[in-house]
Amino acid sequence: MPSQYTVGVDEVAIDDDFWSPWIDRNRDVTVEYQYEQLKESGTLENFRRAIDGESGGFQGMWFQDTDAYKWIEAASYELAKADDPDLRERVDEVIDLVAGAQEVSGYLDTYFQLVEPEHKWTNLNIMHELYCAGHLIEAAVAHHEATGEESLLDVAVDFADHVDEVFGDEIDGVPGHEGIELALVRLYRVTGEERYLDLARYFVDLRGHDDRLAWELDHSEEIGGASWDDGALVPAEGGGSLLLDEDGEYVGTYAQAQAPVREQEAVEGHSVRAMYLYAGVADLVAERGDAELRAALDRLWANMTDKRTYVTGGIGSAHRHEGFTEDYDLPNESAYAETCAAVGSVFWNQRLFELEPDPAYADLIERTLYNGFLAGVGMDGEEFFYVNPLASDGDHHRSGWFTCACCPPNAARLFASLGQYVYSTTGGELYVTQYVGSDLSTTVEGTAVELDQESALPWDGEVAIEVDADGAVPVNLRIPEWADEATVTVDGDEVSHDGSGFVRVEREWNGQWVELTFEMQSELVAAHPAVEADAGRVAVRRGPLVYCAEAVDNERPLHDYALDDDATLRTAGEADALDGATVLEADATVSDRDGWDGELYRPVEDTEREETDLELVPYYAWDNRDPGAMAVWHRRA
Amino acid sequence: MPSQYTVGVDEVAIDDDFWSPWIDRNRDVTVEYQYEQLKESGTLENFRRAIDGESGGFQGMWFQDTDAYKWIEAASYELAKADDPDLRERVDEVIDLVAGAQEVSGYLDTYFQLVEPEHKWTNLNIMHELYCAGHLIEAAVAHHEATGEESLLDVAVDFADHVDEVFGDEIDGVPGHEGIELALVRLYRVTGEERYLDLARYFVDLRGHDDRLAWELDHSEEIGGASWDDGALVPAEGGGSLLLDEDGEYVGTYAQAQAPVREQEAVEGHSVRAMYLYAGVADLVAERGDAELRAALDRLWANMTDKRTYVTGGIGSAHRHEGFTEDYDLPNESAYAETCAAVGSVFWNQRLFELEPDPAYADLIERTLYNGFLAGVGMDGEEFFYVNPLASDGDHHRSGWFTCACCPPNAARLFASLGQYVYSTTGGELYVTQYVGSDLSTTVEGTAVELDQESALPWDGEVAIEVDADGAVPVNLRIPEWADEATVTVDGDEVSHDGSGFVRVEREWNGQWVELTFEMQSELVAAHPAVEADAGRVAVRRGPLVYCAEAVDNERPLHDYALDDDATLRTAGEADALDGATVLEADATVSDRDGWDGELYRPVEDTEREETDLELVPYYAWDNRDPGAMAVWHRRA
């Protein structure tokens, strides 16, 4: 089994009208650019200086090493799908630098090696050595799986062994930024070494129990990177205050340490960290089983999806701590909804699906991929949103790279490995979880299976899948939550189903065509009445896509448009400027502006509305043309 | 003629069911407390130290002297209305300190005298010496008019003469914070000294022309109070940045110096400063006539009232610079709407009325007094809002006094002198501009007039006024803009009128009763379609009052209520907890919460609404009971 999910990157070849251009741009533009950034930002130079035994001169963020690791991971996924000697050579060069910089003990973190060698493992809240280790391990496993080589895996193993020696013995503590937990499970899966699973479980179980994170705040003179006022070491605006409540007391929520994981009731704090943690917990449950942890994941998932998720699948309501706030607090213009958090949500949900093939997980992944995630990437593959608001006054735009460059490389590794999310073979059955044109070649319980999927999503609900197998294999086909009606046929014979969830077809497969037709209607949706930001508002969805209005398409200020509950929503052609995206048009009204001269307030009976259309484009496509205002939620007339 | 308006504080005795309790609390509680603050805050001690020739040890804000001046002004208005030996004695004590601290040259500013004697008149942007001089002069004139004494007037004259010597000669410059302009006109009116009028005109005309304010920013090492980082000397968050644009270039808008006043098109910058300036300009126009300045005032007033004023009469949309932003930018929860700016708006509008008795000025004063101003003062007379938002999530509450204590003393001087705003004798006619129970004793063109007004406002539109005069005097009675219908009778005989503006009755008066009945309907109003914050929203008004909903009276979160355009609005009794205020009840709907379990977004057709009532209280009365959310603008169904 592959290290992450039941289907590996190398088993799926995506060839899809919608997704292939994104994946190609990712490979040709983003991953290339990412490599140039490793040179320009000093990331590689940090490793070189460590190799040369230099002191000081560290460049970039204190967790800059992860840029190299994330690039290796993304590049490795590309190598897994198709060999590329040039890329392989560059990967090997970077690996040589990484390996060379590792200390004899196994320790590897160029910030501490160059700047504060005396302060290793002293500031777990902020200084992210374990987070760096996690990305190193993920890169190493991906590289090993892609190439069969052990050059980076050996580095990861040595570092993991070193962490295993230090933690639980010299030091008891957990990372402020999670990520190592899921990485250790991946490492266990390729090495078979149970100690890594034990270590992952140690980090999961200790969180919320130990007071190490609080202790550090009281001992700033003894810990690394403790000059809170030094811009380079303050993780986000507010610095240490993110970790403290109004009375200056430590609270664990920022790093999901408010309670032991198995007792947690709600998703809290920094949303990327939360997603990485819960993904790791799902991995642990998969390996070890743990009803209590499993129940905690169910509670946390229900809290997130019922009360703390944007209609785009985005998560994280506040900039201040880049994270979750309170139930139903989902402001639109000030939403955080970090691109990395959407990626993390996909990680977590795919793992939950592998644990238990509930279609709700796949539905959320679909919603997130097409909206909350994809909006983070410009249609040129060169510009990115870190933050994905659901409304903008026109001042929010993508930029080329970020000082803290977490989102672009995270998008890169997701695009490069997207095939893993299209299928699953969990429980010995084949699941088609996403409708993305692709060839799958895998085995299910030892039986070889080949699928050839063609999909018209997200524009039309037509899917055709040719299935070939060496024996009888149950194939499960998801009816998306957005499909009002669904028809499933096998070689023209209709398959009966109850209209939701998975349609299971178990039979011998010899090139039969499964054809699926999902009725795709544009619809107006409302948010739960407790969501203040969306009160009296509606959003437009069509199939898996959330739509938005942009100023460039609409004459009046966006706040002036109102939609009746029974407003007609029409498809209105394909936008060339948006790579042929289907755009929509909605019956709407705007204010009659007559009689307002010299008046700022008038009795309502003197105000009229007039009919017009509201033009809508897919949310993921916004801010790819003339800059301007944007709104996902429109006034409900 | 009195120094401010055509009717003096001593000519009006207010006896009104609504206003008298506020005025009494102001005299008995606020003015008393204000005096205690002069001692506790070190304000008086600053003067003592200056008298003793001490150095350093200055306490409070750098313009702390104005606390003493504002208190003297408010106390003087009380003395003008009724003698009070204890109060008079305390006023004299404070005046002795002020006078004693004045330098031989006439200069008086205890901050500079104690802290930076070498830096006088070097930082006109921020250090407010001329603003302090303005308040000193206002206090001195008020004290002289109340008592006939010259003890403080002499101090003001000496300081004004000193300013006159320094400015236009040694220094060319204008104050960053206006106030001295209107004060100099008051001083001219009691002394007859034309130089003060010339000096006021100098300050008005130079504004927007000179680059002194910009020069200071480039010479921070040479100017007083220039340690921008020292909290005591930074005027507001952002410090010097308030004066600079994004490129670090000086822009004059913060202090209304973006253009010469006679060329200005829109009200800009710090809203209190703007009101004080334009009040002074109106005074200048009254004295000197100046068609260009008059036209500028018309433009600025139209810009403010058509595009930059809250429905409460409040002004100032942004906290950052405590001021105006852009046309139609009127956010509710983040409104600034400073209490002092409402006071300043009343100052300006009353002066405009004296220039030209347009009822629109009186209407705006009424709207502002009952709403944007009055909300600033707690019903205990001890707590104050500096900032008056039109929506709150429940975290905005009045506090007892402020570090920068401008609002409570400003409220104090307005309450203490409220009679001036009830009547006017401009142009040789008598105007009843506000309906506030009161006795007026004045002369109109030499003819003695006595009025006895009884008013049921703001709860009912019934007013009765007994008029006595030594001859034929035209009496003008305002029909408020909110009155749908109005009936005016004199001794029972109906007076014909066109339903708006002033009803003019010219006749001999021998105790006739003028009776006015204004139809007072609750009404829903909408804002101009360009106001994004109020799009799809309605506010409730009844007579001069704006109403709001408070969480304490309503079960659901306020965002859940929606009002139909034809919703019935009912009076619903008098609230004992709000001193008998008439409260309202509106037909409303809220979300049907059935079926939302486990769902965050649903098709609109699955959502229902159910009928309920929305309880409303006068806006001025909010936050006087259990703390909670508040909203002036409600969702329009």
**What digits encode the pLDDT tens for the residues A508-547?**
999 999 999 999 999 999 999 999 999 999 999 999 999 9
Least confident residue range of A245-249, B188-192, B291-295, B317-321: A245-249
What SS3 class is residue A547? Answer: strand
The answer as to whether A84 is a domain residue is yes
Residue-level pLDDT at A404: 62
What SS3 class is residue B332? Answer: coil
Shortest Cα–Cα distance, B532 to chain A (Å): 6
The answer as to whether B171 is a domain residue is yes
- Options A322, A354, A454, A615, the catalytic residue: A322
**Residues B394 and B458 placed together within one structural domain of the fold:** no
Task: Give yes or no for B466 touching A (CB within 8 A).
Answer: no
Q: Over 90: is that where the pLDDT of B480 sits?
A: yes
Phi and psi at residue A35, in whole multiples of 5°? -65, -40
* Amino acid at the residue B243: L
Catalytic residue check, B404? no
pLDDT digits (tens, 9 = 90+) for B185-213: 999 999 999 999 999 999 999 999 977 88
Of the candidates A477, A466, A463, the residue with the CA atom closest to the CA atom of residue A513: A466
**Residues A479 and A533 placed together within one structural domain of the fold:** no
As a whole number of Å, the end-to-end CA separation of chain B is: 53
**Residues B299 and B273 placed together within one structural domain of the fold:** yes
Of all helices (H) and strands (E), which one includes residue A408? Answer: helix A407-416
Say if CB A173 and CB A213 are below 8 A apart. yes
> Domain containing B377 — which CATH number?
1.50.10
Mutate to test the interface with A, among B600, B606, B612, B630 (most CBs of A within 10 A): B600
Structural domain ending residue among the three candidates B462, B497, B518: B518
Take residue B193 and report the two structure tokens written for it.
């000294």
Name the residue with higher pLDDT: A328 or A226: A328
Local confidence band at A415 (pLDDT 50, 70, 90 cut-offs): very high
**Residues A381 and A500 placed together within one structural domain of the fold:** no
- Options B322, B338, B354, B454, the catalytic residue: B322
Q: Over 80: is that where the pLDDT of B234 sits?
A: no
Q: Over 70: is that where the pLDDT of A456 sits?
A: yes
Q: Over 60: is that where the pLDDT of A111 sits?
A: yes
Residue-level pLDDT at A230: 45
Establish whether this prediction's ipTM goes over 0.95.
no
**Residues A350 and A270 placed together within one structural domain of the fold:** yes
Say if CB A80 and CB A10 are below 8 A apart. yes
Task: Give yes or no for A395 touching B (CB within 8 A).
Answer: no
pLDDT digits (tens, 9 = 90+) for A141-168: 999 999 999 999 999 999 999 999 999 9
**Residues B354 and B472 placed together within one structural domain of the fold:** no
Say if CB B362 and CB B478 are below 8 A apart. yes
**Residues A276 and A413 placed together within one structural domain of the fold:** yes
Taking an 8 Å cut-off on Cβ atoms, the answer to whether A560 and B535 are in contact is: yes
**Residues A527 and A405 placed together within one structural domain of the fold:** no
Q: How many domains does chain A have?
A: 3
Taking an 8 Å cut-off on Cβ atoms, the answer to whether B603 and A539 are in contact is: no
Shortest Cα–Cα distance, B632 to chain A (Å): 13
Local confidence band at B233 (pLDDT 50, 70, 90 cut-offs): very low
* Distance separating alpha carbons of residues B601 and A526, to the nearest angstrom: 6
CA atoms within 13 A on the CB side of B343: 24
Compute the average pLDDT of residues B275-304: 98
Selecting from A557, A593, A599 the residue whose C-beta is nearest the C-beta of B532 gives: A557
Structural domain ending residue among the three candidates A387, A421, A455: A421
Strand partners, B438: B14, B453
pLDDT digits (tens, 9 = 90+) for B582-635: 999 999 999 999 989 889 999 999 999 999 999 999 999 999 999 999 999 999
Q: Over 90: is that where the pLDDT of A240 sits?
A: no
Where does residue A466 rank: exposed (0-12), middle (13-18), buried (19+ CB within 10 A)?
A: middle
Residue-level pLDDT at B597: 87
Residue-level pLDDT at A242: 77
Q: Over 80: is that where the pLDDT of A313 sits?
A: yes
pLDDT digits (tens, 9 = 90+) for B309-318: 999 999 999 9
Local confidence band at B231 (pLDDT 50, 70, 90 cut-offs): very low
Task: Give yes or no for A306 touching B (CB within 8 A).
Answer: yes
**Residues B398 and B251 placed together within one structural domain of the fold:** yes
> Which chain B residues are Cβ-neighbours of A333 within 8 angstroms?
none
**Residues A493 and A509 placed together within one structural domain of the fold:** yes
> Domain containing B507 — which CATH number?
2.60.40
Shortest Cα–Cα distance, B519 to chain A (Å): 15
Q: Over 50: is that where the pLDDT of B319 sits?
A: yes
* Distance separating alpha carbons of residues A298 and A386, to the nearest angstrom: 28
* Distance separating alpha carbons of residues B332 and B389, to the nearest angstrom: 6
pLDDT digits (tens, 9 = 90+) for A475-502: 999 999 999 999 999 999 999 999 999 9
Q: Over 50: is that where the pLDDT of A350 sits?
A: yes
Taking an 8 Å cut-off on Cβ atoms, the answer to whether B311 and A529 are in contact is: no
The answer as to whether A500 is a domain residue is yes
Residue-level pLDDT at B240: 57
Of the candidates B422, B374, B380, B419, the residue with the CA atom closest to the CA atom of residue B82: B419
pLDDT digits (tens, 9 = 90+) for B134-192: 999 999 999 999 999 999 999 999 999 999 999 998 999 999 999 999 999 999 999 99
- Could you count the other beta carbons within 10 Å of the beta carbon of residue B121? 19
Compute the average pLDDT of residues A90-105: 98
Task: Give yes or no for A391 touching B (CB within 8 A).
Answer: no
Local confidence band at A229 (pLDDT 50, 70, 90 cut-offs): very low
Strand partners, A464: A454, A515
The answer as to whether A228 is a domain residue is no
Shortest Cα–Cα distance, A307 to chain B (Å): 6
Strand partners, B450: B441, B468
Which residue in this structure is represented by tokens 């706030």? A325
* Distance separating alpha carbons of residues A101 and A43, to the nearest angstrom: 12
Take residue A323 and report the two structure tokens written for it.
């994270």
The answer as to whether B229 is a domain residue is no
Residue-level pLDDT at B232: 36
Task: Give yes or no for A590 touching B (CB within 8 A).
Answer: yes
Give the range of the structural domain holding residue B500, as residue numbers without chain letter. Answer: 423-518
Percent of chain A with pLDDT over 70: 97
**Residues B510 and B595 placed together within one structural domain of the fold:** no
Mutate to test the interface with B, among A304, A332, A600 (most CBs of B within 10 A): A600
**Residues B543 and B408 placed together within one structural domain of the fold:** no
Selecting from A529, A591, A593 the residue whose C-beta is nearest the C-beta of B560 gives: A529
What SS3 class is residue B143? Answer: helix
SS (H, E, C) B235-254: CCCCHHHHHECCCCCECCHH
Taking an 8 Å cut-off on Cβ atoms, the answer to whether A535 and B560 are in contact is: yes
Take residue A193 and report the two structure tokens written for it.
């070494």
Compute the average pLDDT of residues B259-288: 97
Phi and psi at residue B307, in whole multiples of 5°? -140, -15
Selecting from A525, A528, A599 the residue whose C-beta is nearest the C-beta of B603 gives: A525
* Distance separating alpha carbons of residues A127 and A120, to the nearest angstrom: 9
Structural domain ending residue among the three candidates A501, A518, A535: A518
Selecting from B593, B603, B635 the residue whose C-beta is nearest the C-beta of A535 gives: B635
Mutate to test the interface with A, among B363, B591, B601, B630 (most CBs of A within 10 A): B601
The answer as to whether A2 is a domain residue is no
Residue-level pLDDT at A236: 37
The answer as to whether B3 is a domain residue is no
Take residue B123 and report the two structure tokens written for it.
């930082």
- Could you count the other beta carbons within 10 Å of the beta carbon of residue A104? 7
Residue-level pLDDT at B236: 37
Q: Over 70: is that where the pLDDT of B541 sits?
A: yes
Task: Give yes or no for A635 touching B (CB within 8 A).
Answer: yes
Mutate to test the interface with B, among A538, A601, A614 (most CBs of B within 10 A): A601
* Amino acid at the residue B70: K
Catalytic residue check, B555? no
Residue-level pLDDT at B403: 64
Residue-level pLDDT at B225: 81
The answer as to whether B581 is a domain residue is yes
* Distance separating alpha carbons of residues B106 and B96, to the nearest angstrom: 15
Report the chain A residue with the minimal C-alpha distance to residue B393: A532
- Options B132, B406, B407, B548, the catalytic residue: B406
Taking an 8 Å cut-off on Cβ atoms, the answer to whether B524 and A557 are in contact is: no
Taking an 8 Å cut-off on Cβ atoms, the answer to whether A526 and B559 are in contact is: no
pLDDT digits (tens, 9 = 90+) for B116-129: 999 999 999 888 99
Residue-level pLDDT at B402: 67
Taking an 8 Å cut-off on Cβ atoms, the answer to whether A557 and B596 are in contact is: no
Mean pLDDT rounded to a whole number for chain B: 94
Q: Over 80: is that where the pLDDT of B420 sits?
A: yes
Take residue A46 and report the two structure tokens written for it.
């940090």
* Distance separating alpha carbons of residues B332 and B329, to the nearest angstrom: 10
